[in-house]
Amino acid sequence: MNTQEILIPVPWGHISAKMYGNHCNSAVLCVHGIQDNCDTFSTLLPLLPKEYYYVCIDLPGHGHSSHFPQFVPLEFTNYLSAIKLVKDHFCWSQFVYLGHSFGGQLGTWFTALYPECIKCLIILDTMGPRDVERKNTMETVKSRIDDFHILQRRQSGRDPPVYTYDQAVDKIRSGRPSKLTDESAHILAKRSLIRVDENRFKFAYDQRLKLPFHPVMTFDQHENIINRISCPTIFVLADENCGRYSTYLKNAYEFYSTRPNMTIRTVNGNHDVHLNHPDRVFAFVSEFLKQNY
């Protein structure tokens, strides 16, 4: 696949994008998860239909993209706005959305908010975002404010830690809830690290990403939004994570599984199976893309 990289101008800097294929083809916007980058799709995309133009972005605060303005907490809707800016930059009237984890959560909301823009929706191993029970609203909001202030005080006047390349790759492996293969860890490291000097690196991602920022909403409120998704949608879930769909994502699973326009498939692997073992994922995604070409 031919690849190209560009910087998309936005008011706070730029969003980095990596494109695969012929720009004359129908577009697929690929959006990664928290503390990942666009290379999370680099092993999957070569296996997908060549009739599409795949545009992978680094979300703000990830990879080679600018961070959102400092000194304020991150906000879920700002990421939706960033996706809208990417869509407007390319002047797409309609496109396919492919998202993993947090990128998939953004995709469900974006599709609900702008249903006329999305031809079909592909979600890899998520069904969120998770909801907040009404009784926990006050506690959740207060903890977010307090945790943000703690993070700001801890970072004030301090240079970010630096690592050798091997130390940084080990930190990428150990800091994830799911296990990466050695190859996958090195793939993500390429855009996750900034070289400080000949032998040392620091992480590129925004430290605010360590704090939760999913919407403070009950499931009823979420349902009111995602109920508007009418386009063909497929969820490809990893079986090692399926237990969590019966806990904090139980409501979302039950909702999506009853919708006639939505398909749920399960593959063997963990949260990063699309990167670790793309051969287990691509058949479902490819078939879905061909059906909705």
Q: Reply yes or no on whether 101 is catalytic.
A: yes
- φ, ψ for residue 114 (rounded to 5)? -130, 65
Please provide residue 42's backbone torsions phi and psi, each rounded to the nearest 5 degrees: -70, -25
Kindly state whether residue 188 falls inside one of the protein's structural domains.
no
Number of domains in the chain: 1
The single residue of 101, 143, 156, 192 carrying the catalytic annotation is: 101
pLDDT of residue 32: 98
Indicate which CATH number applies to the domain containing 123.
3.40.50.1820
Strand order in the sheet with 26-31: 3-10, 13-20, 52-57, 26-31, 95-100, 118-124, 233-238, 262-267
Establish if 207 belongs to a structural domain: no
Instruction: Return the pLDDT at 41.
Output: 98
Q: What does each C-alpha distance from 233 to 33, 78, 124, 190, 286 come to in angstroms?
A: 19, 24, 11, 31, 13
Other C-beta atoms within 10 Å of 138: how many? 10
Domain-located, residue 11: yes
Query: What percentage of the chain carries pLDDT values higher than 90?
Result: 87
> What pLDDT score was predicted for residue 159?
85
Segments forming the whole domain that contains residue 70: 3-132+214-291
Q: Which helix (H) or strand (E) holds 19?
A: strand 13-20
Q: Which residues in the chain land under pLDDT 50?
A: none
- CA pair distance 150, 195, nearest whole angstrom: 27
The model's pLDDT over 207-250, given as tens digits with 9 standing for 90+, comes to 999 999 999 999 999 999 999 999 999 999 999 886 677 677 88
Supply the pLDDT for residue 120.
Answer: 98
Does residue 224 belong to any structural domain of this protein? Answer: yes
42 burial (CB, 10 Å; 0-12 / 13-18 / 19+) is: buried
> Residue 130's pLDDT is what?
84
Query: In Å, what is the CA distance from 85 to each residue of 14, 60, 80, 117, 258?
Result: 10, 12, 9, 13, 32
Task: Say what the pTM is.
Answer: 0.96
Does 151 reside within a domain? no
* The pLDDT of residue 192: 97
Q: Supply the pLDDT for residue 264.
A: 95
Cβ neighbors of 137 (< 8 A, separation 6 or more) are 216
In a domain, residue 86? The reply is yes
Q: Are strands 201-203 and 193-195 parallel, antiparallel or unpaired?
A: antiparallel
27 located within any domain:
yes
Please report whether residue 237 resides in a domain: yes
288 near 232, Cβ under 8 Å?
yes
pLDDT value for 156: 87
pLDDT at 21: 94
Cα–Cα distances in Å, from 220 out to 133, 135, 136? 10, 14, 15
